[in-house]
A and B are shown apart, each in its own frame.
Chain A
Amino acid sequence: MLSYIVRRVLYAVPIAVGVTLLVFALLHMAPGDPVNAVAGPDAPADVVEALRRAYGFDKPLPYQYLLYLGRVVGGDLGVSVATGRAVAGELAQAFANTLVLALGAAVVGFVAGIALGGVAGWHKGTVVDHLATVVSLIGVSVPHYWLGMVMVILMAVELNWLPAMGMASGDAPLFGLEQVRHMLLPVLTMAVIPTGIVARSVRAAVGETLEREFVQALKAKGMRRGAVMRHVVRNVSPTIIAVLGLQFGYLLGGSILIETVFSWPGTGFLLNEAIFKRDLPVLQGIILMLALFFVLLNLVVDVAQAALDPRMRRT
C-alpha cells in the first residue's frame, strides 16, 4: 500500500510540471505582446524595453519558463495588473471563500445524493426508486444560475428571509450565524447538481452490486441485512469516491456562475473579473491553482480507492 502511495505521488509530479508549462504557455499564446499589456499601448519604446528586461522577456523562452517555475515554487504569482496587489494574496483569500462554498455544497449534495441514491438502489424498481430518479433527474437538468435567481427572488426578495448576495462583513466569524445565512442560498443552489449526479451514480452502483453473486452467497451463509449492506457499501465505495472527487473538483472550478449570481468573492468571481479586465497574471494564477488542486484531488481519490479496494493496488 505504501509503495502504491509513493508511486502515485511520483506520477503526480510530471503532471503538475505539465500544468505549469501550459499556464506559462498561456501567457505567450495570448494575442499581443505581454509587455504591451502591462505598459499600455502608448508607452514610449524605452519604457517598454526596460519593462521587457525587468520581466525577463528578453531571455530565451526555456530560461523564462525556469524563472517562472522558480517564482511559482517560491509562492510569487506576480502582481495584478488591475489592482497592483500580489496575485498570491488575492488568490488565497478568494480560494478560501470558494472553498467555504464548495465544502458546504459538497456536504449537502453528497449526503443528499448518497441517501437518495442508496435508498433507490436498495429498493430498485419500487415507488421510492422512481421518485428518487425523478428528483435526481431534475437535479442534473435544472440550470443552476436560473435556480439561483429564482431562489434569490423567492427567499430574499419576496420572503426576505435570507440575504441575496455577498458574504457577511469582514470581521464576522467564518461559520457564525450571519455567515451561514449568507451561505445558505449559494450552497443550496450549488448542491443541486452534485446531488443529482451522486444519486444517479450511487443508485446504479448499489443496484448493480446487489445483483452480483456474492450477495447471494452472503445470504447463503446467513448474513443479515445490515451485514449484507456493509459488504455492498464497501464494494461500491471506490466508485462513489471517484464520483465525489470529480464533483468536488467541479464545485471548486465551476462556481463562476453561482459566484457571479450571488456576488460571492471567490475564485470564480475573481476569474470572471480577471477575464473582463484582461488581468493576465490573475488569470494565470487562478488557472494554475485550480489545475494543481485537481491534480491533488485525483491523487487523494486514487489513494482512497486503493485503500478500499485491494485489486487497485496492483496497477
Chain B
Amino acid sequence: MSDPTPLLSVTGLNVAFQTPRGTAQAVNGIDFTLARGEVLCLLGESGSGKSVTLRALMRLLPEQRSRISGRVTIAGEDLYGLPERRVEDLRGKVVSMVFQEPMLALDPVYTIGAQIAETIVRHERVSKAEAGRRALELLEKVQIPSAKRRLEAYPHEMSGGMRQRAMIALALACNPAILLADEPTTALDATVQMQVLLLLRRLQAETGMAVIMVTHDIGVAAETADRVAVMYAGRIVEQGTAAQVLKTPQHPYATGLFASTVHAGLKDRRLDAIPGAPPDLTALPPGCAFAPRCARRREACDVGQPPKIRMADAREVLCVDAVAAG
C-alpha cells in the first residue's frame, strides 16, 4: 500500500435529483479515497445517500433526472470526463457491483451460466465455450452446490442465498479491481447473511480487490471494514478506521446510531433511538443537517455548514464539537 495514488478517489461529489416536489439533494459534497485492497464501509440509514453514491461511482444514475458535480477518479481516469463507451469498458471489468436484491438484478429469462458467460465474452477475447468453463469455475468459487447443474438454472429456480452467491460470481467474472456491494446481505435470511458475508471477506482476501460495502448494519461493518464512513443526509459526517469510528465515535449522529443498534456485547443496554426523523432532502437546513436531532446542538450549528475537522488520530469529523489536531 505504498502506492501514493489511490485506486479510487472522490472529491466534492454532489448528486441532486429532480423530483415533482423539488430538487432532492441526495449527496452533498463528499470526499473519500479507496486504496488497493482496502475495504471501506459506507454506513447510514436508508435515504442517507449511500446507494446513490455507489451508483454514481459507476456513472449509473439516470442522466436526464440527476445533476452530478464533483470529481470521481478511477485508476487515474476521470469518470465523468470519459466518453460513454469507455465507461462501459470500465463497468464489470475494473469496477463491478453486487446488487441488494439478486432476484431483481438478474435477468429472469436467461440462465445463470449465460449471464455470467456474456459478461466474460463482453470484456475479454474468449470463446463462448471458454466463457462457459470460466462461469463454472466462478460458481464453484462462490461455493454453489452442484455448480455444473446450476449453470443451466434460471434465477427463480434458486434460493435467495444461492442467487446472491451467483450475483457475486457474476460481479467477480472479470476480476475487477473494485467491487461495489450495495447492502449485499439485506435481502437474505439471517442465517444466510453471515455465510455470504464470510464468503465476500474470503474472496476479498484471496483476490486482493478493493471493496466498498454499503450497509446500515453495524455488525456487517465491524465484520468486514478496514475503514468506515458514516453518512447522514448525503454527507460523510465521520470517517476513519473501523476501530476508531465504531469503538469511539465522535460525531453525535454516529454516537446515536451505534447506541440505537443492538449488537453483541451491548445486548442488555436500552435501545436508544435517536429522537426525530432524517431531514427532507428537498429542504435541507442551511446549517448542520443533524442539528435538529442533536443533543449537543449550539447556536453555531445552525449558522452554516459545520467544518470538516481532521482530528489528531487522522479521522475526519463534520461537527463543530470535534477537536482538531493540534
Chain B proximity of A309: nearest CB distance (Å) = 5
Q: Which residues of B contact A224 (CB under 8 A)?
A: 85, 88, 122
Judge whether A222 and B123 touch: CB under 8 Å.
yes
A213 to B64, CA, bound (A): 18
Judge whether A220 and B108 touch: CB under 8 Å.
no
A235 to B119, CA, bound (A): 18
Known contacts A220-B92, A222-B90; A311/B156 CB under 8 A: yes
Partner of B107, one of A125, A220, A222, A235: A235
A218 at the interface (CB under 8 A from B): yes
In the complex, per-residue mask of B172-194: 1 if CB is within 8 Å of any chain A CB, else 0: 01000000000000000000000
Judge whether B60 and A234 touch: CB under 8 Å.
no
B118 at the interface (CB under 8 A from A): yes
B290 at the interface (CB under 8 A from A): no
Judge whether A220 and B97 touch: CB under 8 Å.
yes
Which residue of B has the minimal Cβ distance to A126? B64
Q: Which residues of B contact A93 (CB under 8 A)?
A: none
A61 to B173, CA, bound (A): 70
Judge whether B104 and A214 touch: CB under 8 Å.
yes
A309 to B173, CA, bound (A): 25
Judge whether B105 and A216 touch: CB under 8 Å.
yes
A219 to B63, CA, bound (A): 14
Q: Which residues of B contact A214 (CB under 8 A)?
A: 104-108
A308 to B64, CA, bound (A): 33
A223 to B97, CA, bound (A): 13
- In chain A, residues 272-306, which have Cβ atoms closer than 8 Å to a Cβ of chain B? none
Q: Which residues of A contact B170 (CB under 8 A)?
A: 221
B216 at the interface (CB under 8 A from A): no
B89 at the interface (CB under 8 A from A): yes
Chain A proximity of B258: nearest CB distance (Å) = 31
Partner of A222, one of B64, B92, B109: B92
B96 at the interface (CB under 8 A from A): yes
Q: Which residues of A contact B118 (CB under 8 A)?
A: 223, 227
In the complex, per-residue mask of B53-79: 1 if CB is within 8 Å of any chain A CB, else 0: 001001010001000000000000000
A278 to B253, CA, bound (A): 85
A301 to B89, CA, bound (A): 39
SS of A interface (majority): helix
Q: Which residues of B contact A219 (CB under 8 A)?
A: 60, 88, 91
Known contacts A217-B97, A220-B91, A310-B154; A234/B109 CB under 8 A: yes
- In chain B, residues 103-117, which have Cβ atoms closer than 8 Å to a Cβ of chain A? 104-110
In the complex, per-residue mask of A208-245: 1 if CB is within 8 Å of any chain B CB, else 0: 00001110111111111001000100110000000000
Judge whether B110 and A220 touch: CB under 8 Å.
no
Q: Which residues of A contact B123 (CB under 8 A)?
A: 222
Judge whether A222 and B105 touch: CB under 8 Å.
no
Judge whether B60 and A216 touch: CB under 8 Å.
yes
Chain A proximity of B60: nearest CB distance (Å) = 6
How many residues in B have their beta carbons less than 8 Å from beta carbons of A?
32
A212 to B122, CA, bound (A): 22
Which residue of B has the minimal Cβ distance to A213? B104
Chain A proximity of B42: nearest CB distance (Å) = 17
Partner of B109, one of A220, A223, A227, A309: A309
Judge whether A220 and B104 touch: CB under 8 Å.
no
B302 at the interface (CB under 8 A from A): no
Judge whether B154 and A213 touch: CB under 8 Å.
no
Which residue of A has the minimal Cβ distance to B154? A310
Chain A proximity of B155: nearest CB distance (Å) = 9
A224 to B83, CA, bound (A): 13
Judge whether A220 and B58 touch: CB under 8 Å.
yes
Q: Which residues of B contact A212 (CB under 8 A)?
A: 104
Judge whether B154 and A221 touch: CB under 8 Å.
no
Q: Which residues of A contact B105 (CB under 8 A)?
A: 213-214, 216-217
In the complex, per-residue mask of A4-32: 1 if CB is within 8 Å of any chain B CB, else 0: 00000000000000000000000000000
B217 at the interface (CB under 8 A from A): no
Judge whether B99 and A213 touch: CB under 8 Å.
yes
Which residue of B has the minimal Cβ distance to A234? B109
Partner of A218, one of B85, B101, B107: B107
B93 at the interface (CB under 8 A from A): yes
Judge whether B104 and A311 touch: CB under 8 Å.
no
Chain A proximity of B308: nearest CB distance (Å) = 31
In the complex, per-residue mask of B218-241: 1 if CB is within 8 Å of any chain A CB, else 0: 000000000000000000000000
Q: Which residues of A contact B85 (CB under 8 A)?
A: 224
A104 to B201, CA, bound (A): 61
A214 to B170, CA, bound (A): 13
Q: Which residues of B contact A231 (CB under 8 A)?
A: 107, 110
Judge whether B109 and A310 touch: CB under 8 Å.
yes
Known contacts A219-B60, A221-B122, A222-B88; A311/B154 CB under 8 A: yes
A157 to B64, CA, bound (A): 50
In the complex, per-residue mask of B30-67: 1 if CB is within 8 Å of any chain A CB, else 0: 00000000000000000000000001001010001000
A218 to B104, CA, bound (A): 11
Q: Which residues of B contact A222 (CB under 8 A)?
A: 88-93, 119, 122-123
Which residue of A has the minimal Cβ distance to B180? A220
**Extra contacts besides A217-B97, A222-B88, A231-B110 (8): CB < 8 Å:** A214-B105, A220-B91, A222-B93, A223-B92, A223-B118, A224-B122, A227-B122, A231-B107
Q: Which residues of A contact B (CB under 8 A)?
A: 125, 212-214, 216-224, 227, 231, 234-235, 308-311
Write 8 A-B pairs (CB below 8 A) sorted by A numbering: A214-B106, A219-B91, A221-B173, A223-B122, A224-B85, A231-B107, A234-B109, A235-B107
Q: Which 9 residue pairs are nearest across A and B when measured between Cβ atoms?
A: A222-B92, A221-B92, A213-B104, A217-B105, A222-B91, A220-B97, A221-B119, A310-B154, A214-B107
